[in-house]
Structure 1
């Protein structure tokens, strides 16, 4: 299976608490719900398209708990996102989660990179990561993510957790798709392209 990452970012790279004011207030974050003013039909259409490609989900503990508190309550069979999340296998990486009551959930407690590499080697379409910043950073550093789907919103927050924090492994990316929504959000889809290459403009010509 391919491992794909989808996440929402502010213009300054913050991915924390996009959905609601109470979603993630850790570190004193006060900007929760910043995505809401920019949500539009194009966002949901792309989300539905990608969720249809999922054969499973890979989540960090905090994102898992947010999802598990909401999506099982959505019982509309026409809601593709809810149907996929509730019916497909979910793998949550955590050493502190005591139990996972959301159906079809497996907790990965140790040797996470090895377990995820083994999941990736299985036949199938996509094992999708949504949010889950700490997990995503680790998998990016170890070359386990095949595609990044990044929605960048026209807002600067100034604080909060970022996808690309200092200390990330240097990685070049190849842009494979780019679109703009009616609310001014830009969707860029990238695939890892190995190590960055470098040059020197003073030596040009």
Structure 2
């Protein structure tokens, strides 16, 4: 059985929207895109790189899939993330995309996303890493399908924006913390089962 591992950048007030670029996600008039960039350091790069090197597949919602495909699919820059993102199997939950998907090694999940991920999790051996994909993450949390959350908690509040855990009640056990030189705490939590 596979493990669903959610990897997210969040602010202290739980905002996950548009951490990497000013124009990444401006839904709702969000004006703070790129908020995570000033907090990147070598500690974060090494910690996230270790996670990226772990075997498994990736799981995305449509919006994140399209954003990452646009940013990474055609790169030839030698960045280690480029090879992982292009080579790794990618499963995509979407009600609007159709096969064939344009990014190599991409598979569209059929039907209801929660049911499809539950079936995939039963069949898959390894980690299914979810990056971004807030709507999908919240649905999977409500369905008790998330096993691990790795949150890079940034020392700022935005007061607005899409929150990762909005409307989700869950209990977690802290399993690891890594402080960075910029004040980010990379905290790994395992979902506590009833």
Name the TM tier (shorter chain).
over 0.9
Number of aligned residue pairs: 192
Q: Contact between 1:90 and 1:106, CA under 8 Å: does it hold in 2?
A: yes
Q: CA RMSD in A?
A: 1.4
1:177-196 paired onto structure 2 within 5 Å: 177-194=176-193
Q: Deviations 1:139-189 (Å, cap 9, x if unpaired)? A: 0111111100001101110100001113x2x32110000121000001110
Q: How does 1:1-80 map to 2 (within 5 A)?
A: 1-77=2-78, 79-80=79-80
2:132 corresponding residue in structure 1: 131
Runs of 5+ unmatched residues, structure 2: none
Q: Write out per-residue CA displacement over residues 75-99 of structure 1, whole angstroms, 9 at most, x where no aligned residue.
A: 245x332111101211111101245
CA distance in 1, matches of 2:32, 2:103: 28
- The question of whether the paired residues in 1 share the 8 Å contact of 2:94 and 2:109 is answered with yes
Q: Secondary structure at the match of 2:137?
A: helix
TM normalised by structure 2 equals: 0.94
Contact (CA 8 Å) 1:52, 1:80: kept in 2 or not?
Answer: no
TM-score, normalising length: structure 1: 0.89
Larger mean Cα displacement after TM superposition, 17-26 or 170-179: 170-179
Q: Which runs of 4+ in 1 moved over 4 A?
A: none
Bigger Rg, structure 1 or 2 = 1
